[in-house]
Chains A and B, each alone.
Chain A
Amino acid sequence: MTSTALAFLSAGFGAGLAVLGAGLGIGRLAAAALDGTARQPTATGDIRTSMIIAAALIEGVTLFAIVVCVLLAIKA
Chain B
Amino acid sequence: MTNLLATLALALATTQHSPEPAQHAAPAAEHAQPAAATEHAQPHGAAAPAEHGAVAGEHGESHDGSAEHGGGHGEGKETLSDVMLGHVSDGYEIEFPGFCHGGFSFECEVNLKHVFGDSLVLHFGSTTIDLTPTKHLIMLWLASIVLILAFLVSAKNRGLVPRGLYNFLELLVQFVRDEIAVKNIGKEYADRYVPYLCTAFFFILFVNLFGLIPYAATATGNIGVTVALATFTFIITQYTAIKSMGLGGWLKHLTGGVAVWLWPIMIPVEILGLFTKPFALTIRLFANMVAGHIVIMSLLGLIFALGSPLVAVGSVPMALAIFGLELFVAFVQAYIFTMLSSLFIGAGLAHHGHGEEHEEHAHAASGAGSEHHGSHGSHVAGGSPGHG
Contact = CB atoms under 8 A, between A and B. Distances in A.
B10 A46 contact: no
A66 B336 contact: no
Given A11-B14, A12-B14, A49 B283 contact: no
B3 interface: yes
Given A19-B7, A52-B387, A70-B10, 5 more contacts: A15-B7, A18-B7, A19-B4, A22-B3, A67-B286
Contact of B386 (A18, A49, A67): A49
Interface residues of A, number: 30
A16 interface: yes
Interface string A15-51: 1101100110000000000000000000111101100
Interface string A41-76: 001111011001100110110111011011001100
19 contacts: A12-B11, A15-B7, A15-B11, A18-B3, A19-B6, A44-B381, A45-B381, A48-B384, A49-B380, A53-B335, A53-B339, A59-B288, A60-B283, A60-B287, A60-B288, A63-B283, A66-B6, A67-B287, A70-B294
Q: Which of A11, A66, A67 has the most CB of B within 10 A?
A: A66
Give the interface residue-count category, chain B. Answer: 20 to 34
Contacts of B380: 45-46, 49
Contacts of A19: 3-4, 6-7
Contacts of B4: 19, 23
Instruction: Give the 3 A-B CB pairs with smallest separation, nearest first.
Output: A45-B381, A63-B287, A60-B284
Contacts of B11: 12, 15
Contacts of A12: 7, 10-11, 14
B378 interface: yes
A19 B4 CA distance: 6
B377 A46 contact: yes
Interface of B: 2-4, 6-7, 10-11, 13-14, 81, 85, 280, 283-284, 286-288, 291, 294, 329, 332-333, 335-336, 339, 377-378, 380-382, 384, 386-387
B377 A11 contact: no
Contacts of A67: 283, 286-287
Contacts of A15: 6-7, 10-11
What is the interface of chain B mostly: helix, strand, loop, or mixed?
Answer: helix
Contact of A69 (B10, B335, B384): B10
B14 A73 contact: yes
A33 B157 CA distance: 40
B336 A16 contact: no
A45 B283 contact: no
A11 B10 contact: yes
A15 B2 CA distance: 12
Contacts of A73: 10, 13-14
A69 B2 CA distance: 15
Contacts of A16: 7
A66 B14 CA distance: 14
A60 B332 CA distance: 12
Given A45-B381, A45-B384, A57 B336 contact: yes
A52 B377 contact: no
B62 to A, nearest CB: 22
Given A63-B283, A66-B3, A56 B333 contact: yes
Contact of A59 (B3, B10, B294, B339): B3
B296 to A, nearest CB: 15
B387 A46 contact: no
Contact of A60 (B13, B280, B377): B280
A22 B7 CA distance: 12
Nearest to B383: A45
Contact of A49 (B14, B81, B288, B384): B384
Contacts of A59: 2-3, 288
B377 A66 contact: no
A45 B332 contact: no
B212 to A, nearest CB: 18
A43 to B, nearest CB: 8
